Amino acid sequence: MEIFIEPKSTFYKALEDIINKSYKNSMISRKEIYDILTKYNCNFPVIENRVFARNDSYQKNIYILKPYGDKTYRLRINTKIEPYITNIEIMWLKLIMSSRYAELFLGENTIDKIKKLNIFGIPSIDINLIVPKNYSKILGREDIKILAPKFRMLLKSIIEKKIVQYTYKTRNGQIFRDIVGIPVKIQYSLKDDMFYIIFYSLEHKAFAKCIIQNIERIEIKEGSFNREQVFKEYEIYLKNAKSKQPIVIEVINTRNALEKAFCVFSSFEKSARYLKEKNRHEIRIYYYDFEEAEIISRILYLGKNVVVTQPQHIRENIISRVKKALKTYCNNYMV
């Protein structure tokens, strides 16, 4: 029945909650049933009558509950509904597991469970529709087994607000040793297929952006400094570094431009709305001043399907870069 197909009906989820709550507590009250139906917007007479078996026609009732006392019910079959996975979800899991980064975000037990799913016969999502192939060849990609420990330590440091000491090798080979800083944010560049980490340098009182795989050594720093004062200064600096105005772009949804826009700006705080009169989507991107160059690079990556409407200095920057590109590569092109 279509009414039980989860993607098409919230009634399935409501019944699942009613059954599982009844199983967990050995009973369920009439009020709890009404609350669940209300939660999923199923609190109308036709549904209520079917749940409580009030219809005169036997076939129109759903006999999952039986009265127990004045205002309580129990399950007719004492079993719960186990979580299940749809074919659409399996398709996305197959796509996720095809990434070399799956081990960075999923535990061993989770990966084992996914591998045990019956995924044979389920079609795969064409990764070429989502992930571009024009990665930069300037820098090779580190083996995931070497990248993973550094990635997890940085993630743990961000969550637990730890100060770290690290050594970093730049793309041109310059080495910065024993730098002390606070990890702020991890970013992934779809364009370069690279993970970046943004540090707040305690020495320079400024932000630095590093490629994670180029960090040669990293450790938690427990030095003799006033942690409260350090983080107080850091929070003030972070607050002042936040841009006063978001970058506003309008996306023409052709050639999957909207999906690409959300993908490349996934690491940024943002809001979106549909502009019906223009048949476009507006995305507001909130960022720190030190991220401006990165955002401009990603906007240019999206191409002609994206228009920057605000702020003016970002518009002028992009127009200037486009004109220079046209002058360099299309001498006969009139701007």
Tokens linked to 68: 């127990």
When pLDDT is averaged across residues 251-267 and rounded to a whole number, the result is 83
Higher pLDDT, 136 or 249: 249
Mean pLDDT for the chain overall: 82
Q: Could you name the CATH architecture of 247-329?
A: 2-Layer Sandwich (3.30)
The answer to whether 182 and 192 are in contact (CB under 8 A) is no
H or E segment to which residue 57 belongs? none
Tens digits of residue pLDDT in 38-72: 888 887 787 788 888 887 777 777 888 888 888 89
Tokens linked to 8: 């098409």
Cis peptide before 246 (omega within 30 of 0): no
In angstroms, the Cα distances linking 157 to 37, 117, 178 are 43, 34, 17
pTM of the model: 0.56
Read off φ and ψ for residue 44, nearest 5 degrees.
-125, 160
Tell me what pLDDT residue 308 has: 93
d(CA 335, CA 326) in angstroms, rounded, equals 8
Chain centre to alpha carbon of residue 316: 30
Tell me what pLDDT residue 227 has: 66
Q: SS3 of 70, please?
A: coil
Tokens linked to 222: 């427990």
Tokens linked to 84: 């299940």
What ranges do the domains of the chain cover? 2-75, 87-129, 144-239, 247-329
Higher pLDDT, 303 or 191: 303
Q: Is residue 328 pLDDT above 50, yes or no?
A: yes
Fold of 144-239: SH3 type barrels. (2.30.30)
Helix axes 108-116, 87-97, angle to 10 degrees: 130
Residue located via tokens 């389920």:
122
Tens digits of residue pLDDT in 3-16: 555 555 778 888 88
Residue type, 251: V
Tens digits of residue pLDDT in 114-131: 777 766 677 777 766 655
Winning range, highest mean pLDDT, from 17-26, 51-60, 112-121, 318-327: 17-26
Please report, rounded to a whole number, the percentage of residues in the chain having pLDDT higher than 90. 14
Tell me what pLDDT residue 334 has: 47
d(CA 133, CA 138) in angstroms, rounded, equals 14
When pLDDT is averaged across residues 293-322 and rounded to a whole number, the result is 89
Q: Give, as one character, the DSSP assignment of residue 288.
A: B
* 3-state DSSP percent of the chain in helix, strand and coil, to 5: 45, 25, 35
